[in-house]
Structure 1
Amino acid sequence: MQKIPKIIHQTYPTKDLPHPFATITTRLQALNPDWEYRLYDDQDVKTFIAQEYGQEYLYLYQRINPCYGAARADFFRYLVIYKYGGAYFDIKSLCTQPLQDIIREDDEILLSFWSPDSGYGRGWKELTWSKYGELQQWHIIAIPQSPFIKLVIDKVIANILNYSPWTFGVSSIGVLRVTGPIAYTQAIFPKINTYVCRFGPFDQDLGLVYSGLEAGLHHSQIYKFYYDHFFSPIILPSQKLKYLSWYPPSIYWKARRIAGKIKRYILQTVATF
C-alpha cells in the first residue's frame, strides 16, 4: 500500500482561477482521477492553520507581508503536507503522467533539483556547497509528519522570528531565503542521509513539470501582484519598529536593483562599440 496519501493540494488567492491556471488544474485532475483534489483560497488557508496548528502559527503566517503571496504560500505548503501528506503543486505546475506511476509504495518524500540546462536554482551564495543548487519546492510529495518537512517548518519559523531586511533582503531573493527553496534546501540537506527519501534527481526524471503554461507565457504576466516587483520587507515589523526598519532597507534594495540595471546597460552599450 502506498505510504503517500492520494491527495493533491494547491492554493490560489481565490477559487476563481484565471483561465490558463484553470486549464492546468483540470489537466492535473484528469491525470489523477483517483486522487482527492483540494484547492485552498486565502481564507481556506487561514482557517486550516488556525484549526490544525493554532493561533500562534496563524500569527506567524500573518507576519508574512501579504504583498508576498508566494512566501505565504510557501509556509502553507509545508504545513498542509506535514499535516495531511500527499502532493502539493504550484498552481502553474503539473505532472506528465499519473502520480500512481511516479510514486512508489515505499516512497516517503520525493526530492529533485533543477536540471543543469534549466537556468534555475543555482548561484546562491548560501548554497555553494550543493552541487546542483536548490532543491525544488514548487512540488512537495511526501508522507504526513515527514521529518524533512518538520525541519523545513522549524527553519522557516526561525527565519520569520529572526528576520531582518538587512540580512535576508527583500523582493524575490528575500522570499527565497526566508520561506522559499533556499530555506527548504538548508533545512533538508544536512539530514539527507538521516531519513528516507528518493531523488529524481531532476524534475523531468520524476515526470513533473514546473510550468504547464503555453510557450511564451510566464506566470508573472497572469498574477495581479508578483513578488519580484516589491521591495518592502518580507516579514511585517512590530509597530514600534515599523518606521525604523521598513523604509531604509526598502530604499537600499531598490537602489541596488536600479544600479544593477544601469551597470548592465552600460556594459551592453560599451560592448557594441
Structure 2
Amino acid sequence: MTDKIPRRIIQVWGTLSSPDTTTDKTTGLPLFAKASAANLRLLNPDFEYLLFDDSEIDQLVDAEFPQYRSVFDSFSERIQRYDFFRYLAVYHFGGFYFDTDVFLASGLDNLLEFGCVFPFEHLSVQRFLIEQYGMDWEIGNYAFGAAAGHPFLEAVIKNVVRAQRYPEWSEAMLKSIPRMFRSKYFVVDTTGPGLVSRTLAEYPGARDQVNVLFPEDVCDSKDWYRFGDHGVHLQFGSWRKPEPLLYRVTYRYWETTTRKAVLSESLKRGGRRSLDFNSSTERRQEASRTSSSLRPRVASKD
C-alpha cells in the first residue's frame, strides 16, 4: 500500500449507449454524465481516467475479487453492486471515485497529500448513529479518494460483506427508522453512506487515517452535499424507485420534523465536528476483526 492518493479518477456507468466506445468511452454516456466526466478530466488533465461499465465491473470482480462474487451476485438492488464496486475499485487501484452527478470547481491536487478522503454529507436522522456513537452526521460515498489498499476501505468492504451475510447487523441500524420508511434506508445502511459512516465511527484508526472534508459549520445546510471546497453533489438519485404521492408527502414530513429535532440538538454542540466517537473499546475491536478469511487484493505498482 502507498500512503498517498494517486492521480486517478474512477467512474461507473452500467450500460454505455454508443456502439463504438474504444476511443473515448465517455461518448456512450448520457449528456449529464458526459458533462460530469468532462468536468473532472478538464480540471485534472494529468490524472488517469477509468470508466467502468457492467461488463468491466464483472471482469474486475472475477479477476481480482473472486471471493466476493457470491456476495456481488446476492444484492437485491442494482445500486448495491455499484456501491460495492466503487469501494473495491478504489481499494484495488487507488484514486478518486465520483458519481456522475458530481461537478468540481477546482482540481484535486491539494488532496493528493492524504491517504484517504471522504466528504461530510449532512446531519443524520438515523438515531442509531447518534445513540451508539454520538455521531449526529454522516459522510458521503458519492465522492471519495484513497490510496490503494487503504485499511479504512478494507473495513468498509468487510462491513458490506457482513451486512449481506448477517442481515441482523444492518437491521440494528435500520430499526432506528420508522418501519414504513425503512425501505428508503435499506441501500443506505447496507452498502451506502450509512454503512460507511458507521464503519468510520467503529474504525480504530479514524483520527489518524481518514480525512473528512468538514464545512465551517455542519449545521448550515447550504454546506451539505459538497466535496469540501472542491465540488458539489447534485443528488440526482436516479437509482431510487418511484413512490406514491402520499408516501412521499408522509416521508417528507417525518424527515423534516426529525431533522429539525436533530438540528436543535446539534446546534448545542456547535458547528465543528471531529473524529472522536463514543464507541467502546469492545465495539472497536469487534469492528476491526476480519469478516472474511481472504483479504482484498491490491493492484501491483507499474
1:47 is aligned, of 49, 55, 59, to 59
How far the C-alpha of 1:193 sits from its partner, in A, is: 4.2
CA distance 1:205–1:262, change in 2 (3 Å): closer
Tell me, yes or no, if structure 1 residue 111 matches structure 2 residue 134: no
How far the C-alpha of 1:228 sits from its partner, in A, is: 3.9
Q: Quote the Cα distance in structure 2 between the aligned partners of 1:57 and 1:110.
A: 25
Equivalent position of 1:59 in the other structure:
70
State the Cα deviation string for residues 109-167 of structure 1 (Å, max 9, x = none).
113313xxxxx451112211354511111112010111100110111100011226x93
Report the count of equivalent residues.
220
Equivalent position of 2:250 in the other structure:
261
Equivalent position of 1:151 in the other structure:
155
2:140 is aligned, of 131, 136, 139, to 136
Residues 25-40 of structure 1: pairs in structure 2 closer than 5 A: 25-40=37-52
Q: TM-score, normalised by structure 1?
A: 0.71
CA distance 1:263–1:123, change in 2 (3 Å): closer
State the Cα deviation string for residues 63-112 of structure 1 (Å, max 9, x = none).
112xx332211100111111111000011113211111x3143x101133
- The letter of the residue matching 1:44 is E
How far the C-alpha of 1:263 sits from its partner, in A, is: 10
Q: Quote the Cα distance in structure 2 between the aligned partners of 1:262 and 1:46.
A: 36
CA distance 1:204–1:262, change in 2 (3 Å): closer
Assess if the C-alpha contact under 8 Å between 1:147 and 1:195 holds in 2. no
State the Cα deviation string for residues 143-200 of structure 1 (Å, max 9, x = none).
0111100110111100011226x93586431001100111101112222446423232
Gap runs ≥5 in structure 2: 17-27, 216-225, 255-302
Equivalent position of 2:211 in the other structure:
198
CA distance 1:172–1:121, change in 2 (3 Å): farther
Gap runs ≥5 in structure 1: 115-119, 212-217, 231-253, 266-273
Tell me, yes or no, if structure 1 residue 208 matches structure 2 residue 235: no
State the Cα deviation string for residues 21-63 of structure 1 (Å, max 9, x = none).
1111111111111111111111111111110111x31221111
Equivalent position of 2:36 in the other structure:
24
Tell me, yes or no, if structure 1 residue 69 matches structure 2 residue 78: yes
How far the C-alpha of 1:6 sits from its partner, in A, is: 1.1
Q: CA RMSD in A?
A: 3.0
Assess if the C-alpha contact under 8 Å between 1:87 and 1:140 holds in 2. yes
Equivalent position of 2:299 in the other structure:
none
Q: Quote the Cα distance in structure 2 between the aligned partners of 1:259 and 1:28.
A: 33
What percent of counterpart residues are identical? Answer: 23
CA distance 1:263–1:173, change in 2 (3 Å): closer
Q: TM-score, normalised by structure 2?
A: 0.65
How far the C-alpha of 1:229 sits from its partner, in A, is: 3.5
Q: Quote the Cα distance in structure 1 between the aligned partners of 2:118 and 2:52.
A: 24
- The letter of the residue matching 1:19 is L
CA distance 1:98–1:59, change in 2 (3 Å): same
Q: Quote the Cα distance in structure 1 between the aligned partners of 2:72 and 2:210.
A: 28
Q: Tell me the secondary structure at the aligned position of residue 149 of structure 2.
A: coil
Equivalent position of 1:235 in the other structure:
none
